[in-house]
Amino acid sequence: MLGVAADETPAQIVAAVTDYVRDAREQGRSLDDEAVFALGALIGAQYVRGLGWHWGDVTWDGDPDSAAVGVLSPDESLFNNPIGWVSQIAESGGGVPFMLSYNMILANQVPLFERGSATGLY
């Protein structure tokens, strides 16, 4: 789908996902569920490989309807649901911020939140 090798750096893979989604939107191509899941899982895997995050599930305020699966920062202060994020960005008219977000986290240029709060960061 992306034409990237498995041994490319996490940043290169996130950049390829960013380009793929941007190109699809510019060409008026929608992403089917399979593509959304694959691209989201790929972004999540790069957060794990490149940023030291881990996969987990989160339920906010004890409400099972708020549950989500995604990646969490090492102190679990930040959370990202990459599959939902890809779906939202693919359908929106705004920017495609996957690479920007990855680089900001890598450079420690993100807001500080309470340890274990699983605050959404997209």
Per-block mean pLDDT, blocks of 10 residues, the chain (122 long): 90 97 94 97 98 94 85 97 96 92 96 93 86
pLDDT of residue 60: 78
Contact 52/41 with Cβ under 8 angstroms? Answer: no
pLDDT of residue 57: 92
d(CA 21, CA 96): 7
Cα angle 34, 55, 117; round to 5: 120
pLDDT of residue 86: 97
pTM of the model: 0.92
